[in-house]
Structure 1
Amino acid sequence: MSDLRYFQTTKKGEIHELKEELHSSHKEKKKEAIKKIIAAMTVGKDVSTLFSDVVNCMQTSNIELKKLVYLYVINYAKVQPELAILAVNTFRKDSSDPNPLIRALAIRTMGCIRLEQITEYLIEPLRRCLKDEDPYVRKTAVICIAKLYDISPKLVEEEGFIDTLLDILDDNNAMVVANAVISLTDICENSNKSILKDVINKDENNVNKLLNAINECVEWGQVFILDALVLYEPKTSKDAERVLERILPRLSHANSAVVLSSIKVILCLLDKINDKEFIKNVHKKLSPSLVTLLSAEPEIQYIALRNINLITQKLPNMLSDKINMFFCKYNEPAYVKMEKLDIIIRLVSDKNVDLVLYELKEYSTEVDVEFVKKSVRAIGSCAIKLPQSSEKCINILLDLIDTKINYVIQECIVVIKDIFRKYPNKYESIITILCENLESLDESNAKASLIWIIGEYVERIDNADELIDSFLENFSDEPYNVQLQILTASVKLFLKCSKNTKDIITKVLKLSTEESDNPDLRDRAYIYWRLLSKNIDVAKKIVLADKPPIQEENKITDTKVLNKLIKNISMLSSVYHKLPETFISKKNSYSLNSDNNNDHMQDDHYDDDDYDKDNHVLKIKKQMDKQKYDSYSSDNKKSNHSKSSSDSYNNSSDEFNNDIDDADDSKKSMDLIGLNDDESKPQKTIPPVKMVQVLSSEDAGLKGQTGLSIFASINRIDTRIEGRIEMDIQNSCQNNSNISTNNTFNYYESITAGYISGIIQKTLSYPLDLLSIRMALGVNEKYLTNNNPILYKKKSIMEMIYEIIQKEGFSGFYKGYIPTLLTGVPYVTLQMLFFDLYKNIFQTYSSNHYNNIPTLALYSSLAGSLSNLTSLIIVFPGDTVRKRMMNNGIDNKNYIYKNTLHCIKNIYYREGIRNFYHGLFPSMLKCIPSGAIQFIFGLSSPNNLDVQNIGFGETKEMLIYLIPNTLNSNTPPATPLFLQVAIRTNLDIFYFNVPYDIFVVFVENFHMEKDIFKKKWQIIEEAKESILMAVSPMVITSDMLIKRMKIFNISLIARRNVNNMELYYFACITTNNLVILSEVTIQPEKKNVKLCIRTDSSSVVRFL
């Protein structure tokens, strides 16, 4: 408590005082000053300015003072690396001090200073301390080797420190040996080398040395030695028995970590032993030690239970007679009880099932809801695991349903659904009891389970159609899993009882396809619709097919994974039940150190350990083997994407009924950016996109004129973006001999369009605008209502609407409407007029430079800003009047203005004409940049289209050069990707959308450094990652992939080979600076391809 005073100082300017105390000749003052500095450093204060002064205090024989100074140096060495080197001589001197504590302290501190500049000074003292007479110094120096390896692995190997570590395993001091094992373990983990494993298995004497050291070293040293013995691979069964017998005494150790590590080694060695009697005896010794761990603190109990869970999966019979030790106590934490339930389920058998069911039934009546639910699920697991006891489990579940406790009933229904799947056509008699509790269900899982039961046994429920129909009333409000079950149950109802159920299935399919926004629900509904419309018999075979057998939950089915987890008992992975590589990335697996990058990335190849781990690659292989993602070829994809928007969403149900033959498309293979194209025809540019119809002859223009048919496409040709338009006059234009585009600037059309749009916009939005301003007034009402002492009380929207209707009538919603029409409508009209005017002026008087991209972008933004500014100056006085009228007498007592004219006169005569423009400057600042906002990618034409006289039946094709606007919004594109086009002719104005591929806007000759690529890949979140897996119809070669990507302006950054897997890393950038990174993984022998895409904008991924 005496040192607490160092942390409670709030004194200012104490740095100067501390500096004076550090230079004091009194040792006690120095020590006090250092303690204050350490306290300040601990609470986060910056005391790095005292570095040189503190370092000067190192020249002392006082160990306590040295420790404090060393602690300070370790903390601030990175901040002051140049000054830290000055302390090296003191460290070297202290490493030769007669006092072994000072020698060990010096070498430990030098190892903790993580500066590469200091490593060369550390070598000589470290080598000397490794041969020191005192074991305390040696064990400290041994740990320092691992720290030095973390900073400079190459230096450690060149100086032979690893060989020294191997020699130290022969040391006569157990703690030195234990620390040597710790260092070797750390080095092996960071380097992916098997140094320690090779040494242990090289000679039996090395194993004996470690076993001898276990008896003499401290408990944590024992843990590391035991973990190292897991690597031991005995040559014979007798060798395994000999080692195992020497480890068995560790099972009675007081430290739970030592016990768990011993169990880990024993389980690994048992796999090498052939003597069954010996194995049986070991099992008998293992079970008491495991049970003993359950009497420790709750935290240790939890870790022990998680490890026991793994052990029971490997050795299910070892603890079967100890099941009562896992029964829950009333005072145990919930997390311990939950884990015990999992183990009880694993240990339950026909011999103890009665005792277990009685216990679980008692748990199901407790007050902890989650514990009760898991207890009910445990009863269901017993029924699934033990067929002979399923009847008893069903009876207990029915008893629990009779309790009428809502959450118990719902969990029972979920469990019974699984029992029905395990034992079909066996317990249907209880369906009636379940249906009686239909109205009490409010959890989605319980609802979905009961609906599944109704659909599965629909022919045995008299009123099944009524039950399903009752769920349709609130179909849109139900959770997605409930909606999916309603859909499936309705289809089963129709297939099994087609009489009088046609209305139900039709209603469900329409609700699912037309009103739902869930893609899973829509897709499943469309699948069912096609099945039912094509062939009912086929639909029955698919929908009513036998269900796969239900399996036990939370069980690791992969034996290899389970064995790996057993080798990690007492580690974090045994608590997570996940392999270490799935949640821990090694330090050198993704190093951003520039020096290392030169070593790991030669010839455009990543080194095996530089980017991914071998286990991760194997995982990808398994995914490719198991999952085959098929889709349409690139031609079909383009043609479907290029349909006009008017055709895409019409007659969806008709298309669905007539499109059954598309099922054969599932046999097609995925074509990534056209790799299926004929290699005999090499391409150097992006393949041209076929022209598609974007305007039909039946589509009307702005004035209602029809008859113009337009086909269009957008392509990238070399460095240019070209748009092709083909125009054709159809029958409906026979009365007009020809048609031509009009390049003349028409003021009348701009004014008319702006005026009409302004009136509609202001009329519809005015009540909302009024409510918005009223609610934003706040305390300003005191000023607006003639100094009313009662300030404005905040009200909800509904209260505000009700108040306006009661006090001001419905006309109150349009108070100030006339000034709004006099300002808002002219503003929109003038804005459109002046934009066209300014743009026409720039085009006319700057024709020589108008094709230049920066100039076009500048002129477009200037036209928008100037039109906004001009319109604002003209209509601002009316806007001032509008705002005052909207808030005129809002308390219905004091009207300041009688009408609009009175408001204008009042401002003019009382406040002066300048008040009409009060607040103009901030509005001008806002309108200037708002007029310059551009569209995504900003594709536009530098010149207007001018085509003269296209006669009836005549077709004319035009080529337009498009340029990306450099002043874009830098926002992700919307779906689908369209270029909006308007064509003004002498007959009408026609609007249409031209689809284009995102490859069009990829910048050519883009390059990215490897370091930047890796940093960018790390920064982008996984939520913005998209993965596609497919099977290529042909073998993809390296040259083929790289050339194809280059055609689309996608640059290769690096490539590597790992375990017969080819990994390629690409990058590209769009015209609006969206960077897209990709990783292509190819398994040549199986033609499997995996594409992983990361980008700052996740919405871009859908276009690739």
Structure 2
Amino acid sequence: MDKKLKKFIQNATRVAPKISKKGEIFELRNGLVSQYPQTRKDAIKKTIQQMTVGKDVSSLFPDVLKNIATSDVEQKKLVYLYVMNYAESHPELCILAVNTFVSDATDPNPLIRCMAIRTMSMIRVEKILEYIEIPLRKTLQDENPYVRKTAVICVAKLFALNAELCKELGVLEDLTAALEDSNPLVVANAIAALTDIHETDPTVVPLPELIKDHISQFLLALNECTEWARATILGALADYTARDAIEAQEIIDRVTPHLQHVNAAVVLATIKVVLLNLPIIHVDTQSPIFAKIASGLVSLMSTPPEMQYVALRNMRIILEKYPAILSRELRIFYVKFNDPLYLKLEKIEILVRLVDPANLKQCTLLLSELKEYAHEYEPEFVSRAILALSQLAVKYSQIKFVSKVLDILLELFETRVEFQNDCLISMCNLLRHTGEQDEQLIKQVCLVVDAWDATDTGSPQSDYAKCNYLWLLGQFPAKFTNIESKLNPFIETFTQEESLSQMSLLITVVRLHQSISGQLLQNVLDLATHSTQDIDVRDMAIMYWRCLSLEDADDTLINELCHSVLPEIPTTLDTFSPELLETLLSELSLLSSVYFKPAAAMHRQAVRSEGKLKGKQMHELESLAQGEILKNMNEDNLLDMDTDFLSSNTTSNDTNGTALNELKDLFHLDSSQQPKSNQIEQGMNNLTLNKKNGSQSTNTQDLLDLF
């Protein structure tokens, strides 16, 4: 209530005119050159608002820039925000304010000094480097740590713009010296800047040696900095390899308290540091450190869904290296009814992986949970739950347990008609795992599948389900009736099938060539050699054809081709290669750990936007800036009548010329001079008087004159 009352009183006593909510360009321009400071400030705010929603307000650049020399820090911050936004898309316009940036870099207010050096580093034009040297050196040695932490980041931006000049200026030595700064935020920013430079050119900065020499400073600064700074320092510690087990144990002891941090990025970065140092100290899985890691991972499950997803993707990597690390935390990963679909799918992946295959009670609990998931309504979630049932049975690998899972799958096959393809795939996975150990399992599956196509539910639809269906026909032909009638639909649609289905059909027909008609075999071989675009299918068909057509063919070769048995599959879970697993462990908490791809494979070359401005002289850049302003101003003309065309253009040109002249007078100052606020106020008053006397016309006045 106090804020509302204060705002009401302020509005009631206000004299300066307000800016309308529409925020038209001509209204904003009039507000920016108003004689009232409050109106100008409101116009700047409205301009920032229009810029935020995506509207192009670059035509107001001269008018906004004239408000930068003010004692109001809030207004100056808004103007710098405007300039920083157009520093990327219109860098030539920012050239006009170079001297103002240089002057503000020596302002007594540290916030203004930061904004000035930050904006200068964002203008990706080579000529700006002639002015950034002195301000950058001063800010790197500034007495205020907030200014220093901003300046070290600007060094990395300067290096990205012109590496050779950055070396010549010697600011890289100042950046290296910032690693010994007393302020932890400066140290963290220096690490981030050096890392960025090292990734661009590893020969410029010896980053591994610098981390090695300052490892004790990093560990001391870790407890005294912000969340972002902690994640940065932990990233540097992860890149460091301890000299011996004593140093590795010290690093683990110093970073372990951060496993309970509220920020998920800090927790994941800490886990990465601990896991990379564990092989050096040679601890077993019963060590207390694993319990602390598990506690940190569990704490991530109380974060928002998006962060939980990232955490679960990282857990998949960790569980493959240390499968028993979360074996006691099964219930934490149970799916909740309000979880989004992507989180449900990832939780199932984790549940199957963290269950202990030697713990029957735990496997039984998970089996009951997955059975409940299989009766949900989301198709993709149900499909994943059905597949997880077979993965759990294969992982536990006991015949009684497999038989129990098979009973659940058979029940789902009969009750959940829309998921029969997924049930078929899961049942075939179980048969491949058990082989021919249990004849009863084979009989149950084949009996259900044999009666499948006789019902109204049809036959397999997905490509992988068709492959499993054909595999069953070829592997256990004695369990099926009228096999040829079951193969004919696949032969008729052979050209429309996927390559895996074509390959499976070819293998099945060859295996059954002694029990089916020769015409059927001939048709499949013809189709596989003449009507397919897949080279593997064609080559295999030619090989089969030659083996079967040999006059003196050995029956042993034919029997090996037709009666070969697939090896028993130990697991159906997706795994990483050893090389990829080690790479992903070293890149935990990074984007590569979410996509399961190394960072080197995801790297893209940065595209710079200063290409058209490269090599230009200062006077050429100023001409480009003036042309851009004139172009944007001319685009603001709303009407173009034939009778008023000449007068309108003349007035517009006079207006543009006046604005550019004022801008030139205002900003073409010596670098040693600083614009005064009273000069700006006088310029505003003069401009307002000129407007009242009719010496300067605006687009609004031109529009009113037509009527």
TM-score interval for Structure 1 and Structure 2 normalised by the shorter chain? 0.7 to 0.9
Partner of 1:452: 471
Q: Which residue of 1 aligns with 2:408?
A: 399
1:109-142: CA deviations, max 9, x gaps?
1122222211221111011011111111111111
Q: State yes or no: 1:287 paired with 2:303.
A: no
Does 1:507 pair with 2:523? yes
Q: Secondary structure at the match of 1:175?
A: helix
Equivalent position amino acid for 1:432 in 2: L
- Alpha-carbon displacement from aligned partner over 1:647-697 (angstroms, at most 9, x marks no partner): xxxxxxxxxxxxxxxxxxxxxxxxxxxxxxxxxxxxxxxxxxxxxxxxxxx
Of 563, 567, 584 in structure 2, the residue corresponding to residue 565 of structure 1 is 584
8 Å CA contact retained: 1:413, 1:450: yes
Is 1:217 equivalent to 2:225 in the alignment?
yes
The AA in structure 1 aligned to 2:70 is T
Q: 1:382 pairs with 392, 415, 422, which one?
A: 392
Q: What residue in structure 2 maps to residue 639 of structure 1?
A: none
Local SS of the residue matching 1:146: helix
The 2-side partners of 1:551 and 1:585 are apart by 38
Question: Gaps spanning 5+ residues in structure 1: where?
Answer: 597-1104
Distance 1:368 1:500 in 2: 42
Specify the SS of the correspondent of 2:604: coil
Change (3 A) 1:50 1:328: closer
Task: Give the 5 Å matches for 1:980-995.
Answer: none
User: Does structure 1 conserve the Cα–Cα contact (< 8 Å) formed by 2:91 and 2:123?
Assistant: no
Rounded to whole Å, the distance in 2 between the matches of 1:470 and 1:409 is 19
1:275, distance to aligned residue in structure 2 (A) = 4.6
The within-5 A match list for 1:98-137 is: 98-137=108-147
1:303 aligns with 2:310: yes
For residues 518 and 280 of structure 1, the distance between their equivalents in structure 2, rounded to whole angstroms, comes to 53
**Comparing 246-255 and 452-461, the one that deviates more:** 452-461
Aligned length: 585
Aligned letter for 2:424?
I
In the aligned structure 2, how far is the partner of 1:418 from the partner of 1:214?
Answer: 50
Give the match for residue 959 of structure 1.
none
Please state how far the C-alpha of 1:49 moved relative to its aligned partner: 3.5
After TM superposition, give the deviation of residue 171 of structure 1 in Å. Answer: 1.1
Residue among 407, 425, 431 paired with 1:420: 431
Give the CA deviation at 1:312. Answer: 0.5
1:493 pairs with one of 492, 512, 526: 512
1:9 to 22, 31, 48: 22
Match of 1:1070 in 2: none
8 Å contact 1:22–1:29 — kept in the other structure?
yes
Determine the C-alpha separation between the residues in 2 that align with 1:515 and 1:143: 62
Q: Residues 362 and 73 (structure 1 numbering): CA distance in 2 closer, same or farther, change over 3 Å?
A: closer
Higher percent of residues as strand: 1
Equivalent residue runs for 1:589-988 within 5 Å: none
Whether contact under 8 Å (1:7, 1:39) holds in the other structure is no
Q: Which amino acid aligns with 1:59?
A: A
Return the index of the structure with the highest Cα Rg: 1
Over the matched positions of the two proteins, sequence identity in percent amounts to 37
3-state DSSP class of the match of 2:182? coil
CA distance 1:193–1:230, shift in 2 (3 Å): farther
Describe the shift of the 1:429–1:217 C-alpha distance in structure 2 as closer, same or farther (beyond 3 A).
Answer: same
User: Is 1:341 aligned to residue 354 of structure 2?
Assistant: no
One-letter code aligned to 2:236: A
CA distance 1:523–1:191, shift in 2 (3 Å): same
Q: Whole-Å Cα distance in 1 between the matches of residues 609 and 571 of structure 2?
A: 38
Q: Separation in 2 of the partners of 1:558 and 1:79?
A: 44
**2:155 counterpart residue number:** 145
Separation of aligned partners in 2, 1:513 and 1:276: 56
Give 2:547's aligned residue: 531
Contact kept? 1:190, 1:588, Cα under 8 Å: no
What's the TM-score, normalizing by structure 2? 0.76
CA contact (8 A) 1:78 1:115 kept: no
Q: Work out whether residues 95 and 103 of structure 1, in 8 Å CA contact, stay in contact via their aligned partners in 2.
A: yes
The match for 1:266 is 274
CA offsets, 1:470-502, max 9 Å, x none? 6545555655543432222111001xxx25532
Secondary structure, in 3 states, of the residue corresponding to 2:377? Answer: coil
Q: Secondary structure at the match of 2:148?
A: helix
Per-residue CA deviations over 1:63-92 (Å, capped at 9, x if unaligned) read 122122222323334666555333222111
Paired position in structure 2 for 1:250: 258
SS at match of 1:272: helix
User: Would the aligned equivalents of 1:7 and 1:40 in 2 still touch at CA under 8 Å?
Assistant: no
Does structure 1 conserve the Cα–Cα contact (< 8 Å) formed by 2:390 and 2:405? no
The reply on whether 1:67 has 2:77 as its aligned counterpart is: yes
Are 1:240 and 2:240 an aligned pair?
no
Residue type at the aligned position of 2:547 = L
**Residue in structure 1 matched with residue 624 of structure 2 by the alignment:** none
3-state SS of 2:232 partner: helix
Instruction: Report which stretch shifted further, 534-543 or 422-431.
Output: 534-543
Question: What secondary structure sits across from 1:578 in the alignment?
Answer: coil
Partners of 2:312 and 2:448 lie apart in 1 by: 38
**Does the 8 Å contact 1:454/1:489 carry over to 2?**
yes
Matched, 1:436 2:451: yes
- Equivalent pair of 2:19/2:31 in contact (CA under 8 Å): no
> How far apart are 1:358 and its partner, in Å?
2.2
- Shift of residue 550, structure 1, vs aligned partner: 3.3
Shift in alpha-carbon separation, 1:212–1:191, aligned structure 2, 3 A:
same
1:568 and 1:138 map into 2 onto residues whose CA distance is 29
For 1:263 and 1:341, how far apart are their aligned partners in 2? Answer: 22
> For the Cα contact (< 8 Å) 1:326–1:343, is it kept in 2?
yes
Q: Is the 8 A contact 1:260 1:569 kept in 2?
A: yes
Contact in 2 for aligned 1:230/1:265 (Cα 8 Å): yes
Specify whether residues 149 and 516 from structure 1 end up closer, same or farther in structure 2 by C-alpha distance, changes over 3 A only: closer
Whether contact under 8 Å (1:250, 1:258) holds in the other structure is: yes
Aligned partners of 2:614 and 2:606: how far apart in 1? 15
Q: Does 1:191 align with 2:201?
A: yes
Q: Which residue identity does 2:267 align to in structure 1?
A: V
CA distance in 1, matches of 2:613, 2:176: 31
**Pair 551,82 (structure 1): closer, same or farther in 2 beyond 3 Å:** same
1:582 is matched with which residue: 598, 601, 608?
A: 601
Greater share of helix: 2
- With over 3 angstroms needed to count, the CA separation of the structure-2 counterparts of 1:129 and 1:150, relative to structure 1, is same
> Post-superposition shift, 1:223?
0.9
Matched-pair contact (CA < 8 Å) for 2:126–2:162: yes
Q: CA RMSD in A?
A: 3.1
- Note if contact 1:197-1:232 (Cα within 8 Å) is conserved in structure 2: no
State the alpha-carbon separation in 1 of the partners of residues 20 and 483 from structure 2.
74
**One-letter code aligned to 1:182:** A
| Residues 260 and 299, structure 2, Cα contact 8 Å, conserved in 1 | no
Report the residue type matching 2:220 in the other structure.
N
Q: Answer whether contact 2:394 2:572 (CA < 8 A) is retained.
A: no
CA contact (8 A) 1:561 1:579 kept: yes
**What CA distance in whole angstroms lies between the structure 2 residues aligned with 1:396 and 1:549?**
18
- 8 Å contact 2:258–2:267 — kept in the other structure? yes
Number of the residue aligned with 1:358: 368
Relative to structure 1, the CA distance from residue 116 to residue 254 in structure 2 (aligned partners, 3 Å threshold; closer, same or farther) is same
CA deviations 1:772-801 (Å, max 9, x no partner) are xxxxxxxxxxxxxxxxxxxxxxxxxxxxxx
CA distance in 1, matches of 2:593, 2:343: 16
Taking a change above 3 Å as real, the CA distance of residues 589 and 137 of structure 1, as seen in their structure-2 partners, is: closer
Q: What is the rounded CA distance, in whole Å, between the counterparts of 1:341 and 1:67 in structure 2?
A: 49
Q: Which has the higher contact order (CA 8 A, sep 6+)?
A: 2
Residue from 35, 41, 50 that aligns with 2:51? 41
- Relative to structure 1, the CA distance from residue 294 to residue 246 in structure 2 (aligned partners, 3 Å threshold; closer, same or farther) is same
- Deviation, 1:558, is 2.1
Give, in angstroms, the shift of residue 580 of structure 1: 1.3
Bigger mean CA offset, 440-449 vs 511-520: 511-520
Report the alpha carbon displacement of residue 516 of structure 1 after superposing the two structures with TM: 5.3
Indicate if the aligned counterparts of 2:391 and 2:573 stay in contact, CA closer than 8 A: no
